[in-house]
Amino acid sequence: MKLAIVALPGQRWSLNGAEQARVTGCIDVDLNFTPATNLIQLRRLALRVGDKADAPAAWLRFPDVVLERLEQHYGRVELNRYEYQAPSVGYAAPLDVTDIGFVTRYPGLWEVEACA
């Protein structure tokens, strides 16, 4: 399956050439099949410990292959930990991250394993 997600001027998005009005206004894309996608928002937000921010994203639901608006809330509680909420999907948990913001633990969904 080949997908083309394009960020258009004016915070608009297209999926496979069709404009996706329901995600207009989103700055970031979120690929629901990988926690690596949170790196985009975390790097852009550059929150300090104690800061909070909303970061709605154009969320590619997989395997449905549709773009939806995903409301996301981040609060940096420690250097390597964020409180994360995605209310529309009923998810809230602390995310552990590396120094550059790569998620290493996404409770109940994903966790980095050490390589020997």
Cα separations in angstroms, 87 against 8, 73, 103: 26, 9, 19
Residue 107 domain flag: yes
Q: Is the pLDDT of residue 35 over 90?
A: no
Name the more confident of 25 and 115.
25
Task: Tell me how long the chain is.
Answer: 116
Residue 4 domain flag: no
**pLDDT band per the 50, 70, 90 thresholds, residue 16:** very high
Count of structural domains, the chain: 1
55-76 confidence digits (pLDDT tens): 999 999 988 899 999 999 999 9
Residue 77 domain flag: yes
Q: Is the pLDDT of residue 115 over 70?
A: no
Residue 61 domain flag: yes
Q: What is d(CA 58, CA 56) in angstroms, rounded to the nearest whole number?
A: 7
Residue 8 domain flag: no
Specify the pLDDT at position 33. Answer: 86
Residue 43 domain flag: yes
Residue 92 domain flag: yes
Residue 24 domain flag: no
Structural domain that includes position 46: 29-111
Average pLDDT over residues 96-106: 93
Q: What is d(CA 33, CA 43) in angstroms, rounded to the nearest whole number?
A: 19
Specify the pLDDT at position 18. Answer: 96
Name the more confident of 108 and 8.
8
Q: Is the pLDDT of residue 116 over 80?
A: no
Q: How confident is the prediction for the chain on average, in pLDDT?
A: 93
pTM for the model stands at 0.90
